[in-house]
Structure 1
């Protein structure tokens, strides 16, 4: 993914963004074919502190046949975005542009066996469930065994290893008119565009260290 230094985030901020969104588009290629799948993204660290992404697709998805090949793949995680007319800068002498937030995760696909797939699914559900609702965690054990077994047989798990993260947060950095732009963004009916107002005024700048364990 093309980016520039002043649009790039340090690793901890990229990890925080990916974990907050937890959804992206996996893309890979094999035998002359390009495959893409939107899916949940679970960015974690193993016992050695190495980052990886755990995920799964439907067994009927042709992409599942690629997981065991060790093929390179990317996951793109997108945040809020919007077109910005010149008027939002308070002058028509500015060129209209687009604001957006994106993190690209590059790595190598690794097929997960059935036990690891179940463990990864349970960990992801637990993390997302705790974030979504209060109360005890939800488990696959709460549903009849035939339902959970049928669900697990219908998916194929993978891990994306040897990760390289790149970011592009295009938020009007190094340009004027930020306050006027933020005011225009805050007045938009779309809550995602209003979120950009906060990011324009306070771009993510977390520094130091590697990606914290989840």
Structure 2
């Protein structure tokens, strides 16, 4: 993605935080005609030895798993909070609107889990359950092995090893004259705007007098 230096973060902790807080990702492959193909899906992040791996699955009728089998390299994107920014946050009129956002993009190599390996797929599903509704784990166990295996046959699970990643924090860092007014607007706004205000505080963009 387009990544000016003043918006780039090299901190893996920041990238991991964004991927965990906003796990509904876009997996982008190339189809058999050479065109991009996207699936929107939740992914579970695993960190080990400084490396990232993403776990997920698609429905068996979804052709994307066949793309991954034929061409394992793919792109994954995560979009964090985002919001419009009015030019009213600037002290002068010669300005234009913009859109602020946080995002992580990764280049990945896929490994499909053996479609007969129900245990591996079950572990993957339990990781996703743990992310989003831990209490559902008992209900899943109570469905019984036969019913579980029937459902597991309906998905194709995969591991995505993250070969490289980019983290973009676009928050008008290069326009210091906008920070105080932008923070005030975001702090009183929508959930996404309030989240961006929190990130402004995390990045030390907010003057001390604004935080008091």
Q: TM (normalized to structure 2)? A: 0.83
Q: In the TM superposition, what is the alpha-carbon distance from 1:55 to its structure 2 partner? A: 0.5
Summarize the Cα distance change of 1:163–1:138 in structure 2 as closer, same or farther, 3 Å threshold: farther
**Aligned partners of 2:21 and 2:138: how far apart in 1?**
20
Shift of 1:172: 1.1
User: Does the residue aligned with 2:157 lie in a helix, a strand or coil?
Assistant: strand
2:50, 2:188 → 1: CA distance? 43
Contact 2:81 2:102 in 1 (8 A): yes
**What residue in structure 2 maps to residue 42 of structure 1?**
44
Which of 119, 125, 144 in structure 1 is aligned with 2:123?
119
Give the Cα–Cα distance (whole angstroms) in 2 for the partners of residues 49 and 196 of structure 1. Answer: 27
CA shift for structure 1 position 87: 1.0
8 Å contact from structure 1 (residues 72, 107) kept in 2: yes
Residue in 2 that maps onto 1:170:
170
Deviation at 1:193, TM superposition (A): 1.6
* Shift in CA distance, 198/89, structure 1 to aligned 2, threshold 3 Å: farther
| TM-score for the superposition, normalised by structure 1 | 0.83
- Alignment partner of 1:180 is 2:173: no
* Corresponding position of 2:201: 201
CA distance in 1, matches of 2:29, 2:179: 38
2:58 — aligned with what? 57
Q: Which residue matches 2:83?
A: 82
Report the CA distance shift for 1:49/1:41 in structure 2 as closer, same or farther (over 3 A).
same
2:133 alignment partner in structure 1: 129
Alpha-carbon RMSD:
2.3
Correspondence 1:150-169 to 2 at 5 A: 150-169=150-169
SS in 1 for 2:133: helix
> SS of the residue aligned with 2:3?
coil
Superposition deviation, residue 90 in structure 1: 4.7
Give the whole-Å Cα distance in 2 for the aligned partners of 1:103 and 1:15.
9
Aligned residues: 199
Q: Select the structure with the greater relative contact order (CA < 8 A; seq sep ≥ 6).
A: 1
CA contact (8 A) 1:106 1:164 kept: yes
The offset of 1:33, in angstroms, is 3.5
Query: C-alpha distance in 2, partners of 1:97/1:29?
Result: 31
Q: Equivalences for 1:84-123 in 2 at 5 Å?
A: 84-113=85-114, 114=117, 115-123=119-127
**CA-to-aligned-CA distance 1:116-145 (integer Å, 9 cap, x gap):** 222211122123334xxxx69546312233
Question: Cα distance, 1:70 vs. partner?
Answer: 4.3
Q: Structure 2: where are the runs of 5+ without partners?
A: 206-212
